[in-house]
């Protein structure tokens, strides 16, 4: 495997192998010195055309723990502000001699174009509404460390329409044998769900007591201005995981959120910090998963050959 | 198994292996004047099993339970860019190795690159008082200045030959060491 652009690049076996490798890095990260020399001399550039805290820091931490050198490219302080094109920017960075680019871009497909332009590996850290494969991998790892994923019933709740996290998670969870139900108002679900291996519900109340996992998506406030839902209060009333709703969850149900959270909107603060919440584990496991991805891409192809 | 692999010779049977383990266990205790302050650390895949056998032998004749650990060196290898290198198991060393004598244990010593990686991995766990090396088979062809302290058998080989070690608890079947022509 040279690039990781989408969960579509993986099959069940390679996805499982990547999660197994991630477990090794979970163990490395628990050591007193959480660093190995595996990718000494490799250079990873992070190229973020959208703001991000956890994903960028997570990738950079992962690269450093593998002993890579990391170049951080921040659009706000770059020649992009002077009007440099994506292609010129990427080729400039590539000319400095890099082994991998971690890219986030508002346009779906941008990482695919970059993969055509440079010799090194490309990791998609989120492109438009399209894909965010490492988020789906870290969610799968976090779930797998708690429960056997095959046969789990997972509800993905909220703004699925605009969510690359939802798209990548549907694919990964389906590959691993989970049943997925998308929950949200019709305006926030994709226009066509043809080919999606999912069920759909428009009421969180209808499914909350049946599911094993509730995966909440971030509500982006600008969606209200677009008229996709009336008010935040109404959204929370029907689709928020409030304390009252959380009480109806199965006793062993788990709650996940990719962050950043709007506490009090899609998830109540008490639920986000509660016993069922995996939010902190998701962040911790994110570093291990990204180490596994970089190791697989830059370390001659193991184990996802 | 590829078509051109051919059996050449039996090196050890189960009895030979048992005697080699017993002798190495005695030599370790003799060299270190007892078994206190030792820790046996096996390198995957078969090192941990050999280390457990050595510890069992030492417990029998010396009455000391020597702690046993396991080390995966995949992330410390120098050939990661040359071939797929996959971790084989979890690194678990149950005691603080600081101020202890660590005996690294492996089945076959060949180029010495695994042992070099193991020494790197070990230093991240602490600063041992000394590091020693025990192997069942030393087949020569070293590429690094590494020498074993305890050897089951020195076995002259050609590079293209393959030394195959089978241990009941890892590979199933009976214990054996065989020399084959061509890679597995």
pLDDT band at A79 (very low <50, low <70, confident <90, very high): confident
Give the Cα separation of B81 and B73 in Å (integer).
Answer: 15
In sequence order, the 6+-apart residues with CB closer than 8 A to the CB of A50 are A104, A105, A106, A126
In a shared domain, residues A169 and A255:
yes
pLDDT of residue A126: 96
The answer to whether the complex's ipTM is over 0.90 is no
Q: ∠A79-A65-A291 over CA atoms, to 5°?
A: 85
Q: Contacts of residue A303 in chain B, CB cutoff 8 Å?
A: 84, 86
pLDDT of residue A221: 79
Residue A120's CATH number: 3.40.50.1370
pLDDT per position as a tens digit, B16-37: 999 999 999 999 999 999 999 9
Inter-residue contact B128 to B102 (CB < 8 Å): yes
Of residues A165 and A229, more confidence is placed in: A165
Task: Say if the Cβ atoms of B74 and A33 lie within 8 Å.
Answer: no
Per-residue 3-state assignment (H helix, E strand, C coil) for chain A: CCCECCHHHCCHHHHHHHHHHHHHHHHHHCCCCCCCCCCCCCEEEEEECCCCCHHHHHHHHHHHHCCCEEEEEEHHHCHHHHCCCHHHHHHHHHHCCCCEEEEEECCCCHHHHHHHHCCCEEEEEEECCCECHHHHHHHHHHHHCCCCCCCCEEEEECCCCCCHHHHHHHHHHHHCCCEEEEECCHHHCCCCCCCCCEEEECCHHHHCCCCCEEEECCCCCHHHHCCCCCCHHHHHHHHCECHHHHCCCCCCCEEECCCCCCECCCECHHHHCCCCECHHHHHHHHHHHHHHHHHHHHCCCCCCC
pLDDT of residue B183: 64
- Averaged pLDDT for residues A156-173: 96
Picking from A24, A33, A301, the nearest residue to B124 by CB comes out as A33
Q: Is A59 exposed, middle or buried (0-12, 13-18, 19+ CB in 10 A)?
A: buried
Does some domain include residue A62? yes
Picking from B75, B77, B86, the nearest residue to A303 by CB comes out as B86
pLDDT per position as a tens digit, A232-276: 999 999 999 999 999 999 999 999 999 999 999 999 999 999 999
Instruction: Note which residues in 19-38 of chain A have CB less than 8 A from chain B.
Output: 21, 24, 27-28, 31-33, 35-38
Number of domains in chain A: 2
**Residue A120 confidence (pLDDT) above 60:** yes
* Residue B131, min C-alpha distance to chain A (Å): 20
pLDDT of residue A265: 94
* Residue A185, min C-alpha distance to chain B (Å): 45
In a shared domain, residues A191 and A83:
no
Q: Contacts of residue A36 in chain B, CB cutoff 8 Å?
A: 75-76, 124
Does some domain include residue A138? no
Inter-residue contact A71 to A63 (CB < 8 Å): no
Domain that holds residue A122: 7-131+283-298
**Residue B1 confidence (pLDDT) above 70:** no
- Averaged pLDDT for residues B155-182: 94
Q: Contacts of residue B84 in chain A, CB cutoff 8 Å?
A: 299-303, 305
In a shared domain, residues A187 and A112:
no
Taking the CA atoms of chain B, what radius of gyration do you get in angstroms?
A: 16
Taking the CB of residue A207, how many other CB atoms lie within 10 A of it?
16
Inter-residue contact A156 to A180 (CB < 8 Å): yes
Task: Say if the Cβ atoms of B82 and A301 lie within 8 Å.
Answer: no
pLDDT band at A129 (very low <50, low <70, confident <90, very high): very high
Give the Cα separation of A159 and A217 in Å (integer).
Answer: 6
pLDDT of residue B80: 85
In a shared domain, residues A235 and A213:
yes
pLDDT of residue A303: 54
Ordered structural domains, chain B, with CATH: 6-181 (3.40.50.2020)
In a shared domain, residues A20 and A105:
yes
- Averaged pLDDT for residues B162-167: 96
pLDDT per position as a tens digit, B36-77: 999 999 999 999 999 999 999 999 999 999 999 999 999 999
**Residue B79 confidence (pLDDT) above 90:** no
* Residue A132, min C-alpha distance to chain B (Å): 25
Q: Contacts of residue A305 in chain B, CB cutoff 8 Å?
A: 84
Inter-residue contact A79 to A89 (CB < 8 Å): yes
In a shared domain, residues A171 and A119:
no
In a shared domain, residues A202 and A288:
no
* Residue B78, min C-alpha distance to chain A (Å): 8
Does some domain include residue A202? yes
How far are the Cα atoms of A124, A213, A286, B39, B152 from residue B108, in angstroms, in the given order?
A: 42, 48, 37, 20, 10
pLDDT per position as a tens digit, A22-54: 999 999 999 888 999 999 999 999 999 998 889
């Amino acid at each position: 495997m040279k690039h990781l652009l989408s969960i579509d690049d993986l099959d069940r076996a390679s996805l499982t192998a990547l999660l197994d490798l991630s477990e090794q890095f979970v163990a490395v990260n628990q050591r007193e010195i959480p660093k190995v020399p595996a990718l000494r001399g490799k250079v990873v550039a992070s190229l973020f055309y959208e703001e991000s805290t956890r994903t960028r820091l997570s990738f950079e931490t992962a690269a450093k723990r593998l002993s890579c050198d990391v170049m951080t490219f921040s659009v706000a302080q770059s020649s992009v502000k002077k009007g440099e094109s994506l292609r010129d920017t990427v080729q400039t960075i590539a000319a400095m001699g890099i082994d991998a680019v971690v890219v986030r871009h508002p346009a779906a497909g941008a990482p695919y174009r970059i993969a055509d332009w440079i010799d090194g590996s490309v990791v998609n850290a989120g492109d438009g509404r399209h894909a965010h494969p490492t988020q789906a991998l870290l969610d799968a790892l976090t779930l797998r460390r708690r429960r056997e994923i095959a046969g789990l019933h997972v509800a993905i709740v909220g703004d699925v329409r605009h969510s690359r996290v939802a798209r990548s998670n549907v694919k990964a969870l389906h590959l691993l044998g989970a049943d997925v139900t998308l929950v949200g108002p019709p305006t926030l679900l994709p226009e066509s769900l043809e080919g999606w291996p999912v069920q759909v519900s428009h009421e969180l109340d209808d499914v909350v007591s049946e599911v094993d996992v509730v995966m909440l998506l971030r509500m982006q406030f600008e969606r209200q201005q677009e008229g996709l839902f009336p008010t935040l209060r109404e959204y929370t009333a029907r689709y928020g995981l409030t304390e009252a709703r959380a009480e109806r969850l199965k006793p062993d149900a788990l709650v996940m959120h990719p962050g950043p959270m709007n506490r009090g909107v899609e998830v109540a603060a008490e639920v986000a910090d509660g016993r069922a919440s995996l939010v902190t584990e998701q962040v911790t496991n994110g570093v291990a998963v990204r180490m596994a991805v970089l190791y697989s891409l830059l370390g001659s192809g193991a184990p996802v050959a | 198994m590829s078509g051109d692999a051919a059996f050449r010779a039996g090196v050890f049977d189960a009895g030979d292996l048992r005697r080699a383990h017993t002798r190495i266990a005695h030599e370790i205790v003799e060299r270190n004047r007892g078994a206190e302050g030792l820790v046996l650390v096996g390198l995957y895949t078969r090192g941990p099993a050999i280390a457990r056998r050595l510890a069992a032998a030492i417990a029998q004749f010396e009455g000391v339970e020597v702690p046993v650990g396991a080390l995966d060196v995949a992330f410390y290898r120098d050939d990661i860019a040359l071939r797929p290198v996959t971790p084989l198991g979890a690194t678990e060393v149950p005691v603080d190795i600081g101020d202890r004598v660590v005996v690294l244990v492996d089945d076959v010593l060949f180029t010495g690159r695994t042992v070099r990686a193991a020494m790197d991995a070990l230093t991240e766990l602490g600063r041992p008082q000394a590091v020693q090396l025990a192997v069942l088979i030393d087949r020569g062809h070293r590429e690094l200045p590494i020498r074993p302290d305890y050897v089951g058998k020195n076995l002259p080989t050609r590079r293209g030959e393959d030394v195959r070690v089978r241990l009941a608890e890892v590979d199933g079947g009976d214990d054996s060491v065989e020399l084959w022509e061509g890679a597995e």
